[in-house]
Structure 1
Amino acid sequence: MRTVYVNGEYLPENEATVSIFDRGFLFADGVYEVTSVLDGKLIDFPGHATRLQRSLDELEMANPVTAEELLAIHRELVARNDVGDGLVYLQITRGAADRDFAYPADATPTIVLFTQAKPGLADNPVAKTGIKVISIPDRRWGRRDIKTVQLLYPSMGKMAAKAEGADDAWMVEDGAVTEGTSNNAYIVKGNTIVTRHLGEEILHGITRAAVLRLAAEAQMKVEERSFTIEEARAADEAFVTSASTFVMPVVEIDGTPVGQGTPGPVAARLREIYLDESRKTAL
């Protein structure tokens, strides 16, 4: 049985509880982060901690732990659950208070962490074959740069993709791709990697930042701009990045093969160098 962390205590998962008045439950008034674990070490942890603090600040929410305490909790959970490869999920909400749309002045934030073991996470065979995506309208709220727990529409997008025999959905707003349901989206044309510029319309991906830095170091050309689904279908390659999939090739969009319909060399190379660098810098 897993050991989880709830408000300062390490508990068996079947003993962990949160108030029914918690605003994360009632209002999705909370934020989260997911950090990958490879070989028992945390990948890109400083980036996740920094983004967590930014999300909390944007929502005027207190952080119940310091960055140092947060790192210690992550490491302790990984150790207690003997996680070699997997994920650590972290959620902080504004806390419990009687139901009112106005923020409570005196609520104590709720903090919850748990692990998910995923043996062979970096060796996912899907990376060799690629994933298929569909396009759907982006109907989320406007502040997608804040990593909130309100994930119902992305969940609906995943289910819509599965219903069409695909793996994921790319969301489209004003004619341009914003991002995938749980990842940042990219296309490759010629020698140029194209991904949407940062703004309030997309999540500022931690893996995205690392991959773009590594691409620049490898002297790959990168353009941060909007692109359309039509442009994506005509691209040489496409891929997504996220903390749990790293760099994952996209081989089909709305039933149209991308490039040769197989993972391309740019995505494969980026996945290789990202995993290599991440293992070197893991905590």
Structure 2
Amino acid sequence: MSRIVYVNGAYVPEAEATISVFDRGLLFADGVYEVTAVIGGKLLDFAAHMARLRRSLRELALPSPMEDDAILAIHRELVARNALDLGHVYLMVTRGAADRDFAFPPEGTKPSLVLFTQARAAIETPEATRGLKVATVPDLRWARRDIKTVQLLYPSMAKMEARSRGADDAWMVEDGFVTEGTSNNAYIVTQEGTIVTRSLSNAILHGITRAAVLRTAAEHGVRVEERAFTVDEAKGAREAFITSAGAFVTPVVAIDDVPVGTGMPGELTKRMRANYLEEALRTAI
């Protein structure tokens, strides 16, 4: 069955959805996005996603298409129209359609707003059960990775490079330190049981699931260090994992073909996944 998508004020079948060839999202990747998980027809961490969306819009001086309550209503309408029980809602805001020019379009140009749903088969994926293998690649992205823009070509290339090396995903490395995965934040667990993840800065995306997982860790008495870590430190860790709105908390079992710990999903990682999902479902709207 064809999905119903939202494009600039209209709910239409996906095959009928159109956007201008002059849209700056197409011409300049001049746009931002958010992906909100859905479980049981409810939205996870929605308020946090909207707060990050507002920050991304401000950082790019990009006009907001509407208020949060109206955006929430669209999310709920798409979930209902597509009978989405488990999956995600993707949202994209661009600077709108204007004649191609590196300068921003005239003030008052209407931003574009697009949303669509993606269903998933199960919460417990094969990756969550067996763990991921990652390959390290140089981080060649621009310097403002804290803004969730739609310019995702290099992360896509990095993922394909990892797959060509027999891995599931890539961890990007800058100045010898891991920044993040192609679409996720990266973590290790030290031999002493401390979770280590890079501190917030322009170098990484300020993950919504990251914030929730670190908050959950503190509530359960798990020590956390927010600092950079090297590839060698990661290979010598007891456990490793990633977080994102799509992966939740997913173990990493090998880095550049070197097993992490036992080479199996770690107990702390599994516990953090369960704790995160419990809290996320409790607060879903």
Q: Which runs of no fewer than 5 residues in structure 2 stay unpaired?
A: none
- The Cα offsets for residues 144-191 of structure 1, whole Å up to 9 and x where unpaired, read as 000000000000011011101100000000110000000000000022
Mapped pair 1:49 → 2:55: no
Instruction: Report what 2:199 is aligned to.
Output: 197
Q: 4+ residue runs of structure 1 moved beyond 6 angstroms?
A: none
**Number of aligned residues:** 282
Q: Distance in 2 between matches of 1:125 and 1:21?
A: 40
Instruction: Report what 2:3 is aligned to.
Output: 2
Q: 1:264 aligns with which of 263, 266, 270?
A: 266
- Work out whether residues 84 and 119 of structure 1, in 8 Å CA contact, stay in contact via their aligned partners in 2: no
Give me the CA root mean square deviation.
Answer: 0.6
**Structure-to-structure mapping, 1:127-138, within 5 angstroms:** 127-138=128-139
- The Cα offsets for residues 234-253 of structure 1, whole Å up to 9 and x where unpaired, read as 00000000000000000000
Identity among equivalent positions (%) equals 64
TM-score, normalised by the number of residues in structure 1: 0.99
- Work out whether residues 196 and 224 of structure 1, in 8 Å CA contact, stay in contact via their aligned partners in 2: yes
Instruction: Report what 1:37 is aligned to.
Output: 38
Instruction: Report what 1:214 is aligned to.
Output: 216
Instruction: Report what 1:64 is aligned to.
Output: 65
Secondary structure of 1:4 counterpart: strand
Instruction: Report what 2:82 is aligned to.
Output: 81
Q: Which runs of no fewer than 5 residues in structure 1 stay unpaired?
A: none
- The Cα offsets for residues 44-95 of structure 1, whole Å up to 9 and x where unpaired, read as 1111000001000000011111000011100000000000100100000000
Letter in 2 for 1:26: L
Q: Distance in 2 between matches of 1:114 and 1:102?
A: 29
Q: Distance in 2 between matches of 1:268 and 1:117?
A: 24
- The Cα offsets for residues 1-51 of structure 1, whole Å up to 9 and x where unpaired, read as 110000111111111100000000000000000001001100111110000
**Structure-to-structure mapping, 1:126-205, within 5 angstroms:** 126-189=127-190, 190-205=192-207
Q: Distance in 2 between matches of 1:15 and 1:255?
A: 45
Q: 1:239 aligns with which of 228, 238, 241?
A: 241
